């Protein structure tokens, strides 16, 4: 694939993550009381539910900022990758220990079944991994080009 097409592809993935995290972060804040109560019902998160409920929407917004700034995009993609793995691990643990926990995802995403969540998250994990690989390749190509341009003639 040509560099311009690769760049367009990573930008499309980045936009998907920006939409996802803006949407879920805003949904959590708009229904904060419900979100906080749902987190508190989780046997895994109950001891730290207050902190997670307060921090999670803002973490999602922080990832959006990282993704929106081109020089920080790779960090944002790594953060997206990690948080989606954490969300998926949480869902799998909930399926293992207790299937009756409400979803605290925010917005229409909470209408998904747990299995649909795993599929949804897995797709986003794969998209993040692909975007990371492409972004690293693009960054390495830029570094090589700059090294070639700035290399003194002997």
| Residues above pLDDT 90, as percent of the chain | 62
| Length in residues, the chain | 154
The model's pLDDT over 9-47, given as tens digits with 9 standing for 90+, comes to: 999 999 999 999 999 999 999 999 999 998 998 888 889
Average pLDDT, integer, range 72-89: 97
pLDDT at 14: 98
State yes or no: pLDDT of 154 exceeds 60: no
Mean pLDDT for 94-111 is: 76
Q: Please determine, for residue 109, whether its predicted confidence score (pLDDT) is greater than 80.
A: yes
Q: How far from 35 is each of 38, 82, 86, 127, CA to CA, in Å?
A: 5, 21, 18, 27
Structure-model confidence comparison of residues 107 and 19, the more confident one: 19
pLDDT recorded at residue 149: 63
| Residue 145 clears pLDDT 80, i.e. is over it | no
Q: Where are the domains of the chain?
A: 3-150
Cα distances from 106 to residues 50, 69, 151, in angstroms, run 16, 25, 51
């Amino acid at each position: 694939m040509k560099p311009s097409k690769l760049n367009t592809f990573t930008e499309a993935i980045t936009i998907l993550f920006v939409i996802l995290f803006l949407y879920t972060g805003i949904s959590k804040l708009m229904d904060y009381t419900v979100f906080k109560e749902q987190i508190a019902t989780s046997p895994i998160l109950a001891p730290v539910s207050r902190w997670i409920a307060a921090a999670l929407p803002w973490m999602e917004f922080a990832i959006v900022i990282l993704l929106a700034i081109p020089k920080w995009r790779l960090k944002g993609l790594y953060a997206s990758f990690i948080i989606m793995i954490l969300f998926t691990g949480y869902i799998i643990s909930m399926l293992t220990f207790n299937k009756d926990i409400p979803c605290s995802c925010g917005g229409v995403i909470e209408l998904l079944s747990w299995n649909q969540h795993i599929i949804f998250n897995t797709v986003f994990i794969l998209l993040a991994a692909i975007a990371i690989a492409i972004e690293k390749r693009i960054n390495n190509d830029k570094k090589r080009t700059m090294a070639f341009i700035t290399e003194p003639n002997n």
